[in-house]
Amino acid sequence: MNYAFILGTHSSWSVAELLAVLGDNEVSWSNDRILVKKNTEINAENLISSLGGTLKIAEIEMEVPVNMPIPTLAKKCAELIQVKANRGEGKLIFGLSDQGIGGHFEVEKLGLNIKKELKSAEISSRLVTSREKELSSVVVGQNKLLSKGAELIFFRRDKTLIIARTLAIQPYKELSRRDFGRPIRDDHSGMLPPKLAQMMINFAGQMSADGLLLDPFCGSGTVINEAMLMGYTNLMGTDLSEKAIKDSRVNAEWLRELYGLETRAKFHIKNATRLAQFLKPKSVDTIVTEPYLGPQRDLNDITTIQVELAELYSKALDNFYSILKDNGRVVMVWPVFFGREFIEPRLDKWQIINLLPERFIDLPWLKISERGTLLYHRDGQKVWRELIVLEKIN
Ligand SMILES: C[S@@+](CC[C@H](N)C(=O)[O-])C[C@H]1O[C@@H](n2cnc3c(N)ncnc32)[C@H](O)[C@@H]1O
């Protein structure tokens, strides 16, 4: 089957995550919000719960000429809805999302025409609209579009209008519960949003579920918790701070109970720059971590911060080199101050892995640094994040 993946706001990271998970053959784009993957089989519901960067997964149902008259298109869409929609009690509920049609295509008008067509087939329906051109996952979820009807997504490629039907949406309630509902939050040291942790784990590539995944700057344990939920069973978090390790233990226990998981992660107070004294050589399969990122506000002396962080990361990387298996990966985020001041640790024993194949890196909306790494920032943020994926040079 052919699928459309609706990308999150940080499209570059979303694309890289999908390529890491699904592979890059039969993949294409229509715009910066949609990735299309053809001729594949997936379980959308399962897959979306482990993808941090995808908002919706939809199945491509039809491709029609972009100038098809609205009444004809409405008839086709109504037929599609009749065949494929999930019907609950009461009215059939449907919604339409313009995910990059371009021009003056009127989704609202199309919706009313579909409603009319459904009525003539004796189906009473409710059309869900929103102020945005596309319905958010929250609107789709709250209106029960997937259990009591359907959402159709429209996007364009050249002269073709592609129509896809949503199969699964990002579990926004669960993600928010894991982020804001965990027993201990540490806003002072900072925490990764669970979605970002999921993406980082996926960037590590395929790893056996019982391989050892280590977060050596684990803070309150976001990476370990998300990895536990993604089915990894051999997990270790270490941190210099006693409080961080206590917090991680509490958060991990909370998650285990919430989801009825059997895995127990191990947590230890350890300095990341001395890990080789604690863990055996080549005993770790993957390292996924958000290290200490330096001050986030008092940014007067950037040069000193850069030198100190480069030293911390270099020492940690020396230890990672010793404990990591030869085919293992390190996935980290490093700060980029003001979007231009990068950290330059010693990388002579490492190669930076470019997550996007050559043929994709010209896309204008991808945010890529000169060293080929992906960047992440929100509007107005002084400290950007750089995604670093490393493999050993053996
Ligand atoms: C940005 S926080 C990590 C937050 C974590 N990703 C989370 O979501 O909770 C950085 C962590 O690095 C720890 N840290 C700083 N220097 C360290 C070192 N040399 N070795 C190990 N941990 C260190 C801090 O105690 C802090 O918990």
- Asked if 225 and 365 sit in the same domain, the reply is yes
Which residue do the tokens 């050249």 mark?
Answer: 158
Residues whose beta carbon lies within 6 Å of some atom of ligand 1: 189-192, 216-217, 219-223, 239-241, 244, 271-273, 290-293
The span from the CA of 133 to the CA of 141, in Å, is 17
**What is the distance in A from the centroid of ligand 1 to the CA of 324?**
19
Enumerate the β-bridge partners of residue 349. Answer: none
Identify the helix (H) or strand (E) that includes residue 46.
helix 44-48
* Residue 104 lies inside a defined structural domain of this protein: yes
Of the residues 109, 141, 170, the one at which a domain ends: 170
Q: Mean pLDDT, consecutive 10-residue segments, the chain of 394 residues? A: 95 94 89 92 96 98 94 96 87 94 81 96 93 93 95 94 97 95 86 94 90 97 97 97 97 97 96 98 98 87 95 98 97 95 97 86 80 89 94 92
**CATH number for the domain including 352?**
3.40.50.150
Q: How many CA atoms lie within 13 A of 211 on its CB side?
A: 19
Shared-domain flag, residues 154 and 188: no
Q: How many CA atoms lie within 13 A of 234 on its CB side?
A: 12
Nearest to 156 by CA among 82, 73, 75: 73
315 belongs to a structural domain = yes
- CA dihedral of 217, 391, 7, 12, whole degrees rounded to 10: 100
Structure tokens at 137: 């996952």
- How far does residue 148's CA lie from ligand 1's centre (Å)? 45
User: In the listed set 133, 148, 170, which residue is the last one of a domain according to the structure?
Assistant: 170
> What is the distance of C-alpha 306 from the center of its chain?
28
Same domain, 153 and 277: no
* 235 and 374 co-located in one domain: yes
Structure-token pair, residue 43: 């379980």
Residues 193 and 335 in one domain: yes
Provide the b/e sequence for 279-318 (b: ≥16 CB within 10 Å). beeeebbbbbbbbbbbeeeeeeeeeebbeebbebbbbbbe
- Report the separation in Å between the CA atom of 269 and the middle of ligand 1, taken as the mean of its atom positions: 11
Instruction: Please provide residue 277's backbone torsions phi and psi, each rounded to the nearest 5 degrees.
Output: -80, -15
**Alpha-carbon distance 363 to 19, whole Å?**
15
Closest-CA residue, ligand 1 atom 7, reads 191
Same domain, 225 and 124: no
* Whether residue 246 sits in one domain with residue 147: no
In whole angstroms, give the CA distance from residue 43 to residue 21: 13
Residue 176, domain member (yes or no): no
Cα 211 to ligand 1 centroid, rounded to whole Å: 22
Is 175 within a domain?
Answer: no
Instruction: Say if residues 68 and 107 touch (Cβ distance below 8 Å).
Output: no
Total domains in the chain come to 2
Clarify whether residues 163 and 190 are in a common domain.
no
Residues 6+ apart with CB under 8 A from 219: 186, 189, 190, 191, 192, 239, 244, 247, 248, 290
Residues 102 and 128 in one domain: yes
Q: What is the pLDDT of residue 297?
A: 78
Do 170 and 141 form a contact (C-beta atoms < 8 A)?
no
Confidence at residue 104, expressed as pLDDT on a 0 to 100 scale: 63
Cβ neighbours of residue 383 under 8 Å, at least 6 residues apart?
293, 294, 296, 299, 335, 336, 337, 377
For residue 316, the CA-to-ligand 1 centroid distance in Å is: 12
Candidate from 175, 182, 189 with most ligand 1 atoms within 8 A of CB, to mutate: 189
Beta strand pairing status for 350-352 and 324-337? unpaired
Picking from 112, 139, 170, the residue at the C-terminal end of a domain is 170
**SS3 of 229, please?**
helix
In this structure, are 51 and 189 located in the same domain?
no
Same domain for 301 and 216: yes
Asked if residue 195 lies in contact with residue 175, where contact means CB atoms within 8 angstroms, the answer is yes
- CA–centroid distance, residue 292 to ligand 1 (Å): 5
In terms of Cβ atoms closer than 10 Å to its own Cβ (0-12, 13-18, 19+), residue 230 is: middle
Residue 179 lies in a domain: no
Residue numbers of the domain that contains 350 = 184-392
pTM value surpassing 0.75? yes
- Indicate which residue's Cα is closest to atom 3 of ligand 1: 219
Task: From the CA of 191, give the closest atom in ligand 1.
Answer: 8
Secondary element (H or E) of residue 154: strand 149-157
